[in-house]
Structures are given as C-alpha cells and as structure tokens.
Amino acid sequence: MEILVQPMGAYQTNCYIVKIDGKEIIIDPGIGATGWVMANVTNPVAILNTHGHFDHVWSNQELKEALNIPLYTPKADVFLLQNSTFMPDLPASYPDVEVEGDKIFAIAGIEVKFHHFPGHCPGCSMIEIGDAIFSGDFIFHNSIGRWDFPYSDGEAMKESLQKFAKMQSTKTLYPGHGGSTTVPAEQRNIDYWIRSI
C-alpha cells in the first residue's frame, strides 16, 4: 500500500490518495484538490470523507463527476455538504453512500472501516484501510479537533476520546492537518484532553 498526501488550500488540509491492489481511494479532497488527484490516479474506485467540513469536501462533486466513482460521507454530516456554516459558496456535493456509525465496507475488494467519533462535528470519523488510519480532524499529532464550532459537542468529544483510548491498535494515524503519528502515541494524551474540554 502506498499513501500520497498533499495539503490543500489556506488551511493546508491533507488530501490523501491510497494506492492498494492496483486501485486508488481518495480521502478528503479539499480546496483545489482536483488537479492533483487527477494527475496521480489511474484506477480510482471511491472518494471518502472523514467528515463534512468545507476544507475537506470542497472538490467532492467535481471529482465524483470527473471520475464517475462513488462518494462515501458520514451520514450525520451530509447536511454540511450543501449548507456550510463556514463557507456559503461551498460547491454542493451529494454522497452515494451515507455512512452511519461504525461500518465496514468492501470497496472494489478493499476493506474500509469507518470509526465514528463525534464531537468536532456530528459525523466526525476515522477511516481505517490496511495499516493506516485517516483521522480527519478528530486526532492530530499532539492535538485534537476543536469542539467550539457550530454543531460541535464537547460532551460527545469526551465520549469519543474515551472510546479512542480503548482502541486496540498500533497503526499509523494520518490526520486532516499536519504530520502523521500513531494510535499509542496519541492515546497517552487522552486524559489531558478530556480534562481540557
């Protein structure tokens, strides 16, 4: 498995391309992602969103139509794809699959696990593929997602952090912003973050 990453837009939101078994999965195509993605895929099979904030979904529809592949978005965030509080001119996108809670999919023979961790936003999720977990804006290197945005929920964030603390994994985390880390490295910080909320 090969992972390509390119920070996009003013918020340097990581767009990922996961190359596995001769196929590609696109994760969080943000502002200006289309050109980079098109230049780096030959057999794309799906677009996945970790959550619905504008800087992660801006190029959803453009890529979906250009590549004729399905879009998977956490169900609780679908409303954000057509009505962004932060960015009224967000190009609307329409998922083919609305992912509810924790779900496992076989996408073109590739196992994809969505782990639901609400708090930063209602649908906030991490996506596990092979040895990698794409943590969106839930967990960063030595940090966590904000819980003071519209539709954020501090109590839900605490519950999600408690759930994350019990996760039995040593896999690498690839966040929505910044560099990679690991599940155990960030689990060491969870008590601090829970006290901070």
pLDDT at 19 over 70: yes
- The answer to whether 55 and 11 are in contact (CB under 8 A) is yes
Residue 174 pairs in a beta bridge with 134
Alpha-helical regions (H) of the chain: 33-40, 54-57, 60-67, 154-165, 183-187, 190-196
pLDDT at 37 over 80: yes
Rounded to two decimals, what is the model's pTM? 0.97
Residue 178 CA to its chain's centroid (Å)? 13
Average pLDDT over every residue of 49-71: 97
**Cβ count within 10 A of residue 111:** 12
Burial class (CB in 10 A: 0-12, 13-18, 19+), 167: middle
Domain ranges of the chain: 2-196
pLDDT at 44 over 90: yes
What local confidence, expressed as pLDDT, does residue 153 receive? Answer: 98
Average pLDDT over every residue of 172-181: 98
What is the tens place of the pLDDT at every residue in 91-147? 999 999 999 999 999 999 999 999 999 999 999 999 999 999 999 999 999 999 999
What is the tens place of the pLDDT at every residue in 61-87? 999 999 999 999 999 999 999 876 667
Rounded distance between C-alpha atoms, residue 95 and residue 130, angstroms: 23
Assigned CATH topology for domain 2-196: Metallo-beta-lactamase; Chain A (3.60.15)
What local confidence, expressed as pLDDT, does residue 192 receive? Answer: 97
C-alpha pair distances (Å), 22 with each of 113, 182, 197: 19, 26, 43
Residue 97 pairs in a beta bridge with 72
